[in-house]
Chains A and B, each alone.
Chain A
Amino acid sequence: MAHEDAQEDTVRGADDTDRLDEAVPPDGSVQPEPEVDEDGLTADDPGIAGSRTRRPAAEVAPPGGFVGSLKFAWAVLTSMRTAIILLLLLAVAAIPGGILPQRPVNPFAVTTWLANHTKTGPFLDKIGMFDAYHTPWFSSIYLLLFVSLVGCIVPRTSVYLRALRAPAAAPPRPVSRMSGAVSYAASAPSEELLTRAQLAMRKRRYRVRRVGDVVCAERGYTRELGNLTFHVALLGVLMAVGYGSLLGHSGSAVVVEGQGFSNTLTQYDDISAGAAFNGQLDPFSVKLDAFHVAYETGPVQRGAAREFKADVTVTTPSGTRADSIEVNKPLSIGSSQVNLVGHGYAAVVTVRDGNGNVAYTGPVVFQPLDSNLKSVGAINVPDARPQRLGLQGYFLPTASVGQMGPVSLFPEALSPELFLTAWAGPPKAETGQPQSVFTLDTTGMTQLTQNGDLLRLKLAPGDSYVLPDGLGLVTFDGWKRWVKLQVSSTPGMGAILAFVLLAVAGMAVSLSVKPRRAWIMVSGGEAWSAGADRVDGRSGVGDEISAVAAELGLEKPPPGP
């Protein structure tokens, strides 16, 4: 909201004196109770602080009629109090999504959470708690906030433009009678002193003008400029983000070493696209030649990743080249960015069916479950005859069997093993329904047993296992690595960045510039000075005036009673 200055809020109760406008004596001493509001900033004060003439909503009775109600609603919406409440509401509304798992981030965690909370889960789901940032209640808060912001920026901009053209403010009363005024004995003729005072203030980058025997000086106009810039830039950020999410897309695909990915919709494992995404994808393909991983083998952080590097061959309409993708070095192709967002192991297996034919051969992607890459996966062999086959279980890069069953002790494939259970069933017509690639749909299948126990296969690379009842043969040929590539396009990214930088710059200016007014009066062998710090939380005008007085050779007054 563009309402950062105290003066801007026109509500001034009896106990709400605007202490900011009190004049400060140059020596910084404390005055007895200063007179309240002596600089009298009024609604049409051309000061740096914008002046919104609108009354506080709470004190305005809703006028009759439709238009009146609208005006009232606008006044309420754009008031500073509402802005604060909306900001706090936004903070509160952002919290559930920071606590509960979110579908767009981690759908699996949401499913687990719902399964564990059967009572509260469905209700929370209904009110959108698992996709909190796309709910109507979240959107409405930030949209209201931005409406309120616009309602604030527009009037303040015109006030600011007027203030820019205005000359330095005249003292609201004779300088000698202002609170905190300091008097000196004039050290030189009045005219000379006034001219030198003007020069001195100009040198300090004040806007200066002469009114009679008073030099009026004012500075700090960039504060409100920074303030307005920040708030306008915020609007810009929101619009650029909206533009990018409307037209952009992001999808991912798992690619096993030796395989490729071409940037067409059908090759994505999942995709999310904005409402206005036109389906146009940059034409390219990426082949994963090799994926290099290094893990910490020392005693500290053993098993932590130390290197991820994917060697790829990129083919675009203009040719083919070798390149690489690392975690912090995505590939840029046209308007697309290709990131390395995940990796894991694929078990290369061959399954021969009961008839002796190869029913499946190739890499099967396993999904990592923990940091040592214990991975889960399923081998679906629908074409096996006479019975179709299915296997599911774990890939363990450094296998060991503990009390809790098979575990992996290290993420590198030092002694990889497959632990599988097997299923068989009569052939089934293809339904075309999507299935999870990591779990087996066992409907219509029975789990294989041997000697009354459930059959468990434990295979090292090169091992084969003959399934009971002549159902077939499973061979663990070896393993490969896979990477998950994310391809995304976000139009307007440059604009987002530019607006964010503009916002930070504007904010820094608005929070650091100190607007001040100062007056020096010389008359009849005497001189007076007074000044005012014009924003909350800033001080120092007194010191500055003292310095100017010293430059002018004005004698400091003897310590008063």
Chain B
Amino acid sequence: MTVASFSALAVVTAAVLYLLALSLHALEWAMARHVEVSTASVATGTKGGVAVLDKPSDTAVRPEKADMYGRMGFSLTILAAAVNVAGIVARGIAAHRAPWGNMYEFITTAAVVVAVLYVLGVWKWHLRWLGLPVTLLGAVLNGLAATVFYVAVAPLVPALHSVWFMIHILAAIISGAAFSIGGVAAILYLVVARAERRGTVKGYLAMLPGSDGIDRISYRVLAFAFPLWTFTIAAGAIWAEYAWGRYWGWDPKETWSLVAWVVFAGYLHARATAGWRGTRAAWLAILGFALFWWNFIGVNLVFAGLHSYAGI
């Protein structure tokens, strides 16, 4: 087996492992379906959820089985992430360069960063409740990579021969991963906030932190990603000045990056404005998350721009 084929196999394996982890987390949700409104969610309710954020659900009724499946899912996620990392490292070794030169490499690395941020989050902020959406992301990203975006290992085109190749793309990958986590947390926020408004917080929702807690996690991740995304765009502009002789040329990729940036700026402002914080702000976060991936996948496949490399 060559290093390159090991890498490809590892990515497929990682996708399957994420899928298994996803199933376990789905079981976790299912096992919790009988949980009634817990003390924690009553207390968090619509406000005052400040405390639950960092140490969630200690007081919630946590059915043992759900918890077991959750822990199994998390263990499998760690394994999946490790295999995913191995795949990317092998890819870099096979290509003799940083493995971020095309869509396949970008998307697999983004999946790893999502998983790593999540594992760190579980360790530091008890974020295991994000297991279901995170494993879904891992399975979808690696699955898409293996099926749609796969390209064989190859050297870089001259346009990518630059130190900015590492800086710009790695920053984009990390911001994209963080936007994704913030985005799925915003979706969960909408679900939980709606249940809270209707007084129907039960089942697994009752085991989540209250809507305030989810909102806060979503915000923290996005507040980390936004400066990094700004840096990504700035680094891209510096690189563009070297490579193309202009720092900004309204290339489709540049344009959509700016659109996503502006939407996230809108999100940060919305959080601080009466009438906008909460639901509307969450929708903006989701929109920004969607725009990031549209900018990555849609723009590359639909428009011919300067950011198209290696066919896909």
Residues of A within 8 A of B (CB): 1, 3-6, 8-9, 11-13, 16-17, 19, 22, 24-25, 28-34, 56, 80-81, 83-84, 87-88, 90-91, 94-95, 97-99, 102, 104-105, 133, 241, 250, 296, 298-301, 304-308, 326-330, 337-339, 341, 486, 488, 490, 493, 496-497, 500-501, 503-504, 507-508, 511-512, 533, 536-537, 539-540, 542-543
Residue in A3, A99, A102, A539 whose CB lies within 8 Å of B269: A3
- Minimum CB–CB distance from A225 to chain B (whole Å) comes to 15
Contacting pair B263 A539 (CB below 8 A) = no
Nearest 3 CB-CB pairings of A with B: A339-B245, A98-B255, A537-B219
- Stretch of B22-30, B47-55, B65-73, B186-194 lying at the A interface: B47-55
A-B contact pairs, 28 of them (CB 8 A): A6-B277, A11-B274, A16-B274, A16-B275, A34-B47, A80-B273, A84-B273, A88-B266, A94-B255, A98-B250, A98-B256, A98-B303, A99-B252, A102-B250, A104-B250, A250-B245, A250-B246, A300-B153, A301-B154, A306-B158, A328-B239, A328-B243, A339-B245, A490-B247, A504-B227, A504-B230, A536-B277, A537-B223
A124 CA / B205 CA spacing, docked (Å): 48
Taking A328-B162, A493-B241 as contacts, is the C-beta distance between A19 and B48 under 8 angstroms? yes
Contacting pair B154 A19 (CB below 8 A) = no
Taking A250-B246, A511-B226, A511-B227 as contacts, is the C-beta distance between A30 and B271 under 8 angstroms? no
Interface residues on B, range: 35 or more
A33 CA / B43 CA spacing, docked (Å): 8
Q: Which residues of B contact A296 (CB under 8 A)?
A: 154-155
Contacting pair B154 A4 (CB below 8 A) = no
A536 CA / B272 CA spacing, docked (Å): 7
Which residue from chain B places its CB closest to the CB of A91 in the assembled complex?
A: B262
A543 CA / B54 CA spacing, docked (Å): 10
Contacting pair A28 B51 (CB below 8 A) = yes
Inter-chain CB contacts under 8 Å: number: 200
Contacting pair B49 A30 (CB below 8 A) = yes
Does any Cβ of A come within 8 Å of B198's Cβ?
Answer: no
Which residue from chain A places its CB closest to the CB of B242 in the assembled complex?
A: A328
Q: Which residues of B contact A501 (CB under 8 A)?
A: 234
Taking A500-B234, A536-B271, A539-B53 as contacts, is the C-beta distance between A301 and B158 under 8 angstroms? no
Q: Which residues of B contact A80 (CB under 8 A)?
A: 269, 272-273
- Minimum CB–CB distance from B51 to chain A (whole Å) comes to 4
A507 CA / B51 CA spacing, docked (Å): 26
Q: Which residues of B contact A508 (CB under 8 A)?
A: 227
Q: Which residues of A contact B237 (CB under 8 A)?
A: 500
Q: Which residues of A contact B248 (CB under 8 A)?
A: 241
A95 CA / B246 CA spacing, docked (Å): 21
Residue in A81, A308, A533, A543 whose CB lies within 8 Å of B276: A81
Contacting pair A98 B51 (CB below 8 A) = no
Taking A22-B48, A84-B266, A493-B247 as contacts, is the C-beta distance between A32 and B274 under 8 angstroms? no
- Minimum CB–CB distance from B113 to chain A (whole Å) comes to 19
Does any Cβ of A come within 8 Å of B40's Cβ?
Answer: yes
Contacting pair A91 B155 (CB below 8 A) = no
* Most chain B C-beta atoms within 10 Å of own C-beta, residue among A25, A29, A330, A511: A511
Q: Which residues of B contact A241 (CB under 8 A)?
A: 248
Q: Give the dominant DSSP class at B's interface.
A: helix
Contacting pair A330 B227 (CB below 8 A) = no
A301 CA / B259 CA spacing, docked (Å): 32
Does any Cβ of A come within 8 Å of B130's Cβ?
Answer: no
A504 CA / B152 CA spacing, docked (Å): 36
Taking A3-B269, A94-B262 as contacts, is the C-beta distance between A503 and B230 under 8 angstroms? yes
Does any Cβ of A come within 8 Å of B251's Cβ?
Answer: yes
Q: Which residues of A contact B244 (CB under 8 A)?
A: 339, 341, 486
Q: Which residues of A contact B16 (CB under 8 A)?
A: none
Does any Cβ of A come within 8 Å of B258's Cβ?
Answer: yes
Does any Cβ of A come within 8 Å of B170's Cβ?
Answer: no
Contacting pair A537 B154 (CB below 8 A) = no
A91 CA / B290 CA spacing, docked (Å): 14
Residue in A4, A105, A327, A512 whose CB lies within 8 Å of B249: A105
Contacting pair B263 A25 (CB below 8 A) = no
A426 CA / B224 CA spacing, docked (Å): 71
Does any Cβ of A come within 8 Å of B116's Cβ?
Answer: no
Contacting pair B245 A301 (CB below 8 A) = no
* Most chain A C-beta atoms within 10 Å of own C-beta, residue among B238, B245, B299: B245
Residue in B51, B216, B220 whose CB lies within 8 Å of A542: B51
- Minimum CB–CB distance from B269 to chain A (whole Å) comes to 5
Q: Which residues of B contact A503 (CB under 8 A)?
A: 230
Q: Which residues of A contact B303 (CB under 8 A)?
A: 98-99
A5 CA / B155 CA spacing, docked (Å): 47
- Minimum CB–CB distance from B60 to chain A (whole Å) comes to 12
Q: Which residues of A contact B311 (CB under 8 A)?
A: 301
Contacting pair A486 B245 (CB below 8 A) = yes
Interface string of B37-79 (1 = CB under 8 A from A): 0001001100111111111000000000000000000000000
Does any Cβ of A come within 8 Å of B1's Cβ?
Answer: no
